[in-house]
Amino acid sequence: MRWEKIHQAVQESMIFENRYTQYTMETLRVGWEQLLTSINRTINEVENQILTRDSKGISQEQLTEFRSSFNHFDKNRGGRLAPEEFKSCLISLGYSIGKDRQGEIDFQRIVSIVDPNSTGFIQFDAFLDFMTRENVDSDTAEQVIDSFRILAGDKPYILPEELQRELPPDQAEYCIQRMQPYSGPDAPPEALDYMSFSTSLYGESDL
């Protein structure tokens, strides 16, 4: 490097003090190595984020949003969130958590998922896994609703005969047995609610 050659020339000229700078050659070498290490670490982090994004099937925008929110509430910059920080992070991303007793029960269930060993902290990888599942489940539920809406001819409900006509017998029977009656206006008595059924498939219900 150029500054190494300059240093060598200075040494050969028997100049051992420089009143114009407080930095020694050793200081510059250490700083340079630290810079290279930082650059390599950043490259590795970016490559890992790309691999994570591709393997989890989320967009770069989603990954950036999740990372930004996590870092915002990671006040200690320790790469992990305390439960209350985690709750605030979820709320900032639009996740609904009730303030009543049921809301606290639901939140503790989520904590048990992202912190199964009860360490008291949520790591970013566990947080990202949870948010990825939530987004995938949401997208899938919407896709199922859209499919039923097509079968129902854009009606907000579907009839048993439509299911029997469009689906294999075992699948039609499964849906008919588990769909709740549709309670909207102007619907025949046998109308079934495919929206709540689709949502339940990716929620808490055992159906």
Spell out the per-residue pLDDT of the chain, length 207, in tens: 676 777 778 777 777 677 777 777 788 888 888 888 888 888 777 666 665 555 456 677 888 888 899 999 998 888 899 999 999 999 888 877 888 888 899 899 999 999 999 999 999 989 988 888 777 555 567 778 888 899 999 999 999 999 999 888 888 898 899 999 998 888 899 999 999 888 877 654 444
C-alpha angle 81/83/86, rounded to 5°?
55
- Tell me what pLDDT residue 138 has: 55
- Tell me what pLDDT residue 163 has: 92
Residues 6+ apart with CB under 8 A from 91: 97
Domains of the chain, by residue range, sit at 2-46, 57-136, 141-204
Give the class (CATH, top level) of 141-204.
mainly alpha
- Tell me what pLDDT residue 127 has: 92
Topology agreement, domain 57-136 and domain 141-204: yes
C-alpha angle 93/94/98, rounded to 5°?
120
- Tell me what pLDDT residue 25 has: 75
* 8 Å CB contact between 186 and 157: no
- Tell me what pLDDT residue 206 has: 41
CB atoms within 10 A of CB 167: 15
Q: Taking the mean position of all CA atoms in its chain, how far away is CA 104? A: 21
- Tell me what pLDDT residue 50 has: 62
End-to-end CA distance of the chain: give it in Å, rounded. 69
- Tell me what pLDDT residue 82 has: 95
* 8 Å CB contact between 122 and 115: yes
- Tell me what pLDDT residue 204 has: 44
Tokens for 59?
Answer: 């967009």
Q: Which of 163, 164, 161, 168 is nearest to 150 (CA)?
A: 163
Residues 6+ apart with CB under 8 A from 80: 74, 121, 122, 123, 124
Architecture of domain 57-136: Orthogonal Bundle (1.10)
Q: Which of 167, 163, 195 is nearest to 182 (CA)?
A: 195
Quote the pTM value.
0.44
Helix/strand/coil for 128:
helix
- Tell me what pLDDT residue 51 has: 57
